[in-house]
Amino acid sequence: MAKAKRKTNDNAGFWDRPQLMNLIADLLFFAAALALGYAATLAAARLPFFPLRAVTVAGPLQEVTPTQVEYAARNAVAGNFFTVNLEAVRVAFEKLPWVRKAEVRRRWPDDLELVIEEHVAVARWKQVDGAEARLVNREGEVFAASSNAKLPLFVGQEGTAPQILDRYQELIPLLEPIGRQPHSLVLSPRQAWQLRLDDGVLLDLGRDQAKSRVNERLQRFTAVYQQATERLKVRADVIDLRYPNGFAMRVARAGEGKR
For domain 121-251, give the fold: Rossmann fold (3.40.50)
Q: Would you give per-residue pLDDT tens digits along the chain (259 residues)?
A: 445 445 545 555 656 667 766 777 667 666 666 666 555 555 554 555 678 889 999 989 999 999 999 999 999 999 888 889 999 999 999 999 999 999 999 999 999 999 999 999 999 999 877 667 799 999 999 999 999 999 999 999 999 999 999 999 999 999 999 999 999 999 999 999 999 999 999 999 999 988 889 999 999 999 988 888 777 777 788 999 998 888 888 876 654 444 3
Going 210 to 216 to 218 to 221, the CA torsion angle's sign is negative
- The CA radius of gyration of the chain, in Å to the nearest whole number, is 36
Yes or no: say if 114 and 102 are a contact pair by the CB < 8 Å rule: yes
The H or E element that residue 155 is part of is strand 153-156
The H or E element that residue 202 is part of is strand 202-206
| Single-letter residue type at 94 | E
How many helices (H) and strands (E) are present in the chain, helices listed first? 5, 12
Which residues lie below 8 Å from residue 226, measured CB to CB, with a gap of 6+? 178
Yes or no: say if 175 and 182 are a contact pair by the CB < 8 Å rule: yes
What is the rounded distance in angstroms from the CA atom of residue 209 to the CA atom of residue 96?
42
Tell me, rounded to whole angstroms, the distance of Cα 14 from its chain centroid: 65
Same fold, 54-118 and 121-251: no
Write down the H helix ranges in the chain. 18-45, 66-76, 86-94, 161-174, 214-232
Yes or no: say if 211 and 222 are a contact pair by the CB < 8 Å rule: no
Q: How many residues does the chain have?
A: 259
pTM above 0.85, yes or no: no
**Could you tell me the residue ranges of all domains in the chain?**
18-45, 54-118, 121-251
Q: Does domain 54-118 have CATH number 3.10.20.310?
A: yes
What is the rounded distance in angstroms from the CA atom of residue 34 to the CA atom of residue 180?
74
Which residues lie below 8 Å from residue 55, measured CB to CB, with a gap of 6+? 69, 73, 77, 111, 112, 114
What is the rounded distance in angstroms from the CA atom of residue 66 to the CA atom of residue 72?
10
